[in-house]
Amino acid sequence: MKFFNWLQHEGISKVEHIRDTQLSVLETLTKKNAEFYKEFLEEEIISTEKEKEQGIIKKRSVDAVARNINAIKSLFNYLTTETENEETGECYFYRNVFSKIKVFKKDETADEQKK
């Protein structure tokens, strides 16, 4: 849901309700868009109002960002490899832009990240 809300908020998906997001929006998403979404996840303040009043500023952990991006990667993988348009027998689309986005877990070493 957060991803589709973000698409709508950024004007990438110009729909009133996120459920109306067209597959063409996902198909034509750029790598830069995907990187901006990852950056949004990393920088978004997720503190409650009470925490904000107390001066506590929270952001997502590295692992939380990785989980979110991996979920989107799974969605794109499903739409590009495992689904089939009933009319054409083809996948809904072929371009999986999120496969180009790298995520690392907090405890990975620099050597592991280079692989």
Residue 43's domain spans which residues? 2-108
Does 113 reside within a domain?
A: no
Q: What is the pLDDT of residues 24-45, one digit of tens each?
A: 999 999 999 999 999 999 999 9
Give residue 114's pLDDT band: very low, low, confident or very high (50, 70, 90).
low
Does 115 reside within a domain?
A: no
Query: What percent helix, strand, coil does the chain show, rounded to 5?
Result: 55, 0, 45
Does 56 reside within a domain?
A: yes
Does 97 reside within a domain?
A: yes
Does 114 reside within a domain?
A: no
Q: How many domains are contained in the chain?
A: 1
Does 63 reside within a domain?
A: yes
Closest by CA to 60, choosing from 38, 81, 78, 44, is 44
- Supply the pTM of this predicted model: 0.84
The DSSP secondary structure of 79-103, one letter per residue, reads IIII---TTTSS-S----GGGG---
Residues 101/69, Cβ–Cβ less than 8 Å: yes
User: Percent of the chain scored above 70 by pLDDT?
Assistant: 92
Is residue 49 predicted with pLDDT exceeding 90? Answer: yes
**3-state secondary structure (DSSP) of residue 59:** strand
Q: What is the pLDDT of residues 61-74, one digit of tens each?
A: 999 999 999 999 99
The widest CA-to-CA distance across the chain, in whole angstroms, is 56
